[in-house]
Structure 1
Amino acid sequence: MFSICYFLNNKSSVELEEESELTLAAISPVRVTPRPGGPGPYRLATICLATLCAVLLISIIAVTAHYKNKPPSAGGATSAMQKQDAAAVSDLTAAVSKLQEEKKRLQEEKKRLQEEKDELLAKLEPAIATKAPEGIKPTTAAPIVCPADWLLFNGSCYFISRTTRDWPESQSYCQSKGGHLAIIHTPEEQTFLWDHLPRGHWRAFWFGLSDEHTEVIGNGFWEVGEPNNHIDEDCGYIVKTQVLERVAIRSWYDAPCSMYWPFICEKEMVAGGSTAVPH
């Protein structure tokens, strides 16, 4: 721009006057006769060139400012991609969390259905459906149904208390309900009861084992080193703790019968028998 202005300003006055006359003759129907030796045409050309230079300068400044303030397209694209990636990661995290919750719900549902299945199978075990002679319909015994809050397993109903008593009081309570403290014979029975016990720091439950007169040794589901009959420990209880490595078949301990623990009652049932619990 400044080169153009410099070129124009360095023309001779005669050339500028001639160009001015030609320009004025082209844009005006009235012929203008320049004053001989006057400065008019030169001043007019100078003003026009200065105006043109100013307009060009302002245009260049405006264009430069526009592109200077405009963020780079590559950077904008990168920012948009980062936002999209962050949104995708957030959506993926939410989906994973939802799947984990659904997995937990399905596991709980599976456990509940398994318990219902076990109870149903236990109810059907006493049912008698033998093949009768030809012409005689087979007979089926009525299923056993335990009272509310009692668990059915292999023909017996079991009650796990939430209150504590000493061993003799626990036995008396079970007898008042038509049963006795649970007597455990098989690993399956032991595992069934142990699975229904709640975990805790040291959750102990009386069951039907007492050797106040004769020390019990030999078979059972004792923890290693038990029974040790330490300080007249004559009654048996089952322990379930937060330690996951502890197993059902090594969970018996002996303790003084005067200690207060929750307890497990058992009542043998017969097919079609009454399920009412005495009050």
Structure 2
Amino acid sequence: MYSQLIDEGSYEESGRRPDVHQVKDLRRSGPGPYRFATICLATLCAILLISIIAVTAHYKSKPPPAAEATAEMQKENANVSALMASITKLQQENKQLQKEKEELQVNLTSIMTAKATEATCKPTRAPIVCPTNWHLFNDSCYLISKDRKSWSVSQLYCQRQGGHLAIILTAEEQTFLWDLLPRGHWNSYWFGITDGETEDEWKWVDDTLLVGGFWEENEPNNHINEDCGYIVKTQVMERVATKSWYDAPCSMVLPYICEKEMGGTTQ
């Protein structure tokens, strides 16, 4: 309309009026900028209205600051209560552990006292001292004789010394005695084993049965009524201690090995 008024004014200044057909043509030429501006304005209004509604709804749904502070405080109080409960539980457990520790200390003191009393009351064992020319191994003393006797006379001699012909039960004991023997062409020594009562039933002088033994290969063979055992050590270096037993007639005259158990004395 403003442009039309300007146009009409210009026409009046010029002394001419527009033709009716020209005016109609101007109105039909299109919507012009006014309709576009109206649409934009309406759109902006709608957007603004939607934004206002959204903000209002947000603030309505959000709790007021005072309510937020109250909720946060309640949460902190709950955390503090849980922490205090944990502390109380730990204190109770610590008290229980202290009690158990004290009980263990009392028991330990009792045990240590009992052991100390036992050690004081228990008699001590005197060191074993073997007679002259006797050799100590474990709790026994051994004599390697230099004179020669028959098997039975050798046993009688050892008994007079408070012992008997040697009873050899372990490889360690056998090796110990073997190492004491001198090497020679056929050095042989009686020890305390015989099958004189029952053939092939070898027994020690304390009447216990032989288990195993350290026989040479193919021994014992009872070649000529051989009922007594002896140890042989020769100059042949290949011979070993654990294969050195032979059987021989008990009447043979040989050196011998006596054994005397030394249980020790108490003080």
Aligned to 1:148: 132
Question: Offset of 1:134 from its aligned partner?
Answer: 4.7
**What is the alpha-carbon distance in structure 2 between the residues aligned to residue 133 and residue 264 of structure 1?**
45
> Map of 1:230-241 to 2, 5 A cutoff?
230-241=223-234
Runs of 4+ in 1 over 6 A off after TM superposition: none
Of the three residues 218, 221, 225, the one matched with 1:228 is: 221
> Map of 1:188-199 to 2, 5 A cutoff?
188-199=172-183
1:150 counterpart letter in structure 2: W
3-state SS of the aligned residue for 2:114?
A: coil
Aligned to 2:201: 216
Question: Offset of 1:166 from its aligned partner?
Answer: 0.6
- Identity fraction in percent: 63
Residues 251, 134 of structure 1: CA spacing in aligned structure 2 closer, same or farther, 3 A cutoff? closer
2:173 counterpart letter in structure 1: E
Aligned to 2:94: none
Of the three residues 243, 259, 262, the one matched with 1:266 is: 259
Question: Offset of 1:203 from its aligned partner?
Answer: 0.2
**What is the alpha-carbon distance in structure 1 between the residues aligned to residue 233 and residue 152 of structure 2?**
22
1:198 counterpart letter in structure 2: P
Aligned to 1:133: 114
Aligned to 1:103: none
Which one has a bigger Cα radius of gyration? Answer: 2
Any unmatched runs of 5+ in structure 2?
Answer: 1-111, 203-210
Of the three residues 165, 185, 189, the one matched with 1:205 is: 189
What are the superposed Cα offsets for residues 138-158 of structure 1, whole Å, 9 maximum, x if unpaired? 553111111010011110111
> Map of 1:1-279 to 2, 5 A cutoff?
133-136=114-117, 137-138=119-120, 139=122, 140-214=124-198, 215-216=200-201, 219-272=212-265
Over the residues paired in the alignment, what is the CA RMSD in angstroms? 1.8
1:216 counterpart letter in structure 2: E
Aligned to 2:48: none
Q: Tell me the TM-score normalized by structure 1.
A: 0.49
What are the superposed Cα offsets for residues 173-230 of structure 1, whole Å, 9 maximum, x if unpaired? 1011111000110001100000000000000000000111122366110000000011
Question: Offset of 1:132 from its aligned partner?
Answer: 7.7
Aligned length: 143
Q: Tell me the TM-score normalized by structure 2.
A: 0.51
